[in-house]
Chain A
Amino acid sequence: MNLLSGASFERLQGAIDTSNLRQKVIANNIANADTPNFKRSDVSFESMLEQEMDRNSSSLIGNRTDSRHFYIGPQSGSMVSPQVTTDETTVYNNNLNNVDMDKEMSQLAQNQLKYNALIQQLNHDIKMKRVVLEGR
């Protein structure tokens, strides 16, 4: 029934969305490389996802007997959403701007490769499902 909504499929979707968001953030950092007082932003997702998955393996889970109860421990089907953080603490340039062009460029390349890998993985998933459907 849930052919296209497995956990890995949703995680892939979340990762692709995050990659898109990161592309925007990096593009904005590069665009503002000469803007006085601009502070660079970052997208954190992988570390949060890791935390969430670690939490999934922890044993303490609160038993909810009422819909008004708080969640204790991991929630089933909870999705991590990416966060944009701005680095206000450093100063790299004379004009209080902290965009490091080398860092942005390498992150741009890294993000692009990651995006390609994710799309490839997604296509692989779809191809496997197609094999099941067509039976050959």
Chain B
Amino acid sequence: MNISNSFNISASALTAQRLRMDVVSSNIANAETTRGRYVDGKFEPYRRKMVVMQPYQEGSFASALQSELGEPDVGKGVKITQIKEDQAPFKQVYNPTHPDADSNGYVSMPNVDVLKEMVDMISATRAYESNVTALNASKSMFMKALEIGK
């Protein structure tokens, strides 16, 4: 039994939530970016990015060995497997004076909804906090174990 494993589990979640936070920040920062990517001689607005999370699983050999050794199978934390781009259509805003306006005076704006991003940000913050709490609990248990036999 190895308690440091629970540190690793919480740490993986902290990393994942931090990355989620980075993606939210990027989305909010680029909410007005009309020149996100240069495709076929034309600028395309920024596309909203989303993270895909998945429970972390070790390779089949390690888990098979562990179950053969009779150790109960506990999860290994969480990881982000992918950062996907939202394929929703761009917002069309009428603004003829904008340098990227088309011949009808419409500008394609990024498909970022700041409200959605705020909700995601709160969710990431709360998840981060609860993982810090779990990490602190593991830490204090570890410190208590050092007192055995004192």
State the A residues within 8 Å of B (CB): 16-17, 19-21, 23-36, 38, 41, 43, 81-84, 101, 104-105, 108-109, 111-112, 115-116, 119, 122-123, 126
Other-chain residue from A33, A36, A116 in contact with B144 (beta carbon distance below 8 A): A116
Among listed B41-49, B86-94, B108-116, B134-142, interface-contacting one: B134-142
Q: How far is the CA of A21 from the CA of B127 in the complex (A)?
A: 22
Instruction: Report the interface size for chain B: residues with CB under 8 A from the other chain.
Output: 37
Interface flags for B53-90 (1: CB within 8 Å of A; 0: not) read 11100000000000000101111111000000000000
Name the prevailing secondary structure of the A interface residues.
helix
Q: How far is the CA of A119 from the CA of B146 in the complex (A)?
A: 10
**Known interface pairs A23-B3, A35-B53, A38-B55. Does A115 touch B144 (Cβ–Cβ under 8 Å)?**
yes
B1 A35 Cβ-Cβ under 8 A: no
**Known interface pairs A23-B3, A115-B141, A119-B147. Does A31 touch B73 (Cβ–Cβ under 8 Å)?**
no
Q: How far is the CA of A112 from the CA of B25 in the complex (A)?
A: 35
B10 A31 Cβ-Cβ under 8 A: yes
Q: How far is the CB of A36 from chain B (nearest CB, A)?
A: 7
Other-chain residue from A38, A83, A112, A126 in contact with B137 (beta carbon distance below 8 A): A112
A123 B148 Cβ-Cβ under 8 A: yes
Q: How far is the CA of A10 from the CA of B55 in the complex (A)?
A: 34
Sample of 19 A–B contacts (CB below 8 Å): A20-B3, A23-B3, A23-B138, A24-B9, A28-B9, A31-B10, A31-B12, A31-B77, A34-B53, A35-B78, A36-B53, A41-B74, A81-B72, A101-B130, A105-B133, A109-B137, A123-B147, A123-B148, A123-B150
State the B residues within 8 Å of A (CB): 1, 3, 5-6, 9-10, 12-13, 16, 53-55, 70, 72-78, 123, 127, 130-131, 133-135, 137-138, 140-141, 144-145, 147-150
**Known interface pairs A108-B134, A109-B137, A122-B148. Does A28 touch B72 (Cβ–Cβ under 8 Å)?**
no
Q: How far is the CB of A68 from chain B (nearest CB, A)?
A: 23
B75 A41 Cβ-Cβ under 8 A: yes
